[in-house]
Structure 1
Amino acid sequence: MPSLNDLIDRVERLLLRHEELKRTNALLQEQVQALSQERDSQRSRLNAARARIDALLERLPVESESGKNSP
């Protein structure tokens, strides 16, 4: 059976590990938030680029089928 000092040591190690895991979790949450913001920004830029491309495509002249074969 473990002695009282062994139990105290183990509890102290567990408390230290718990604090380390809390700090790690906080850092990971910050990274997730930063990456989510970056993803949202990239998604917004992509949508803006798509809108610009769609606008440019609408400005292109439409060729008729018969016009394609004519010299």
Structure 2
Amino acid sequence: MLGNFSHFLDKVSSFLANRKGLLPLAGLILILLNFILQFFLSGWLIESNLFLHLGLILAIIGFMLAWAL
């Protein structure tokens, strides 16, 4: 189990090393999606700002990984 996770992390880090802006860009897209959806939809998904929070977390993790790689 631990060997599989290590192999997975190796593949992900080598994939992201060449695409450093991918995670922050995906986070920005989620933040913009949250902004647009709040004009057209209502409900729990929009009231909780789920895409805003996920986008922010993804962008911060992306910046941290880009700096480390």
TM over 0.5: no
What's the TM-score once normalised by structure 2's chain length?
0.35
Higher RCO structure (Cα 8 Å, ≥6 apart): 2
What's the TM-score once normalised by structure 1's chain length?
0.34
